[in-house]
Amino acid sequence: MKSLKRMNNLKDKKDIIEFINKYPQKFKILCVKGGFFGSLVYRIIVGSDNKFVWKPEFASPVAKEVLKPLEWPVKTEGFAIYDLDNIEKAYNCFKEQQLASVHIGVKLLEALEDCESLAKLNEKNKLLLLKTHDLDCHKILNCEIIRVYGSLNIFHNPAETTLRQSNSRYFDPIYQDNVYNLEVCNLVSDNFEIFLYEYLKLCNHLDINININNVRAFILLLLERIKRFQLTLS
């Protein structure tokens, strides 16, 4: 069970910030509000090009399976669940976590203990993508940041759930030289052309390979699982 307990403020991680800012070419930062498909976007980016670091534990498998970023588990219904503040809360949303999420096993940037922990994730001649829930990270990091913006309720209008409690909120893009703005509702749109436009724009900006079929299939299966979960909510 991965932990999503309250993390230290990213600003407190001065050594890690200094390290990233010293070697910005080695890192990409995914800046996303919790519950806004951050793990999905992470898998899409890393699953499109092998220039990014991907370790077996990143897949967050429950059973012993070696999975690529865009592969679903075979031995279990879903990926590992997160501990949301306490065991009771995690248990109450177990079904949602198993059916309607694609958690990754990479710690949030603000959860890394020190530079040694960061260095262990790195691989030679690879880019390391790190996720953060600190929406002000652009103020302290000078590497490239992919910011997920927009609102979720405009495409499937889900009920508020334990994992996705911010569906009615809108998060603004940030216009800064080192920030790329990714509109989440476009990326996970039912409309193929809307998805394709957002995905190709992302690939072009990051200069990564295009993997349309696998990315689209992964997204559609997740959306189907979310619908199934919503239909079975008591």
Considering the domain delimited by 2-6+26-231, tell me its CATH architecture.
3-Layer(aba) Sandwich (3.40)
Other CB atoms closer than 10 Å to residue 233's CB: what's the count? 10
Tokens of 219: 């997204």
Q: What is the pLDDT along the chain (234 residues), one digit of tens a residue?
A: 444 444 568 999 999 999 999 999 999 999 999 889 999 999 999 999 999 999 999 998 777 889 999 999 888 878 877 765 555 555 557 777 777 889 999 999 999 999 999 999 999 999 999 999 999 999 999 999 999 999 886 544 455 565 665 556 789 999 999 999 999 999 999 999 999 999 999 999 999 999 999 999 999 999 998 888 877 764
Which pLDDT does position 88 carry in this prediction?
Answer: 55
219/149 Cα distance (integer angstroms): 18
137/140 Cα distance (integer angstroms): 6
Instruction: Kindly list the domain boundaries of the chain, sorted by start residue.
Output: 2-6+26-231
94/61 Cα distance (integer angstroms): 15
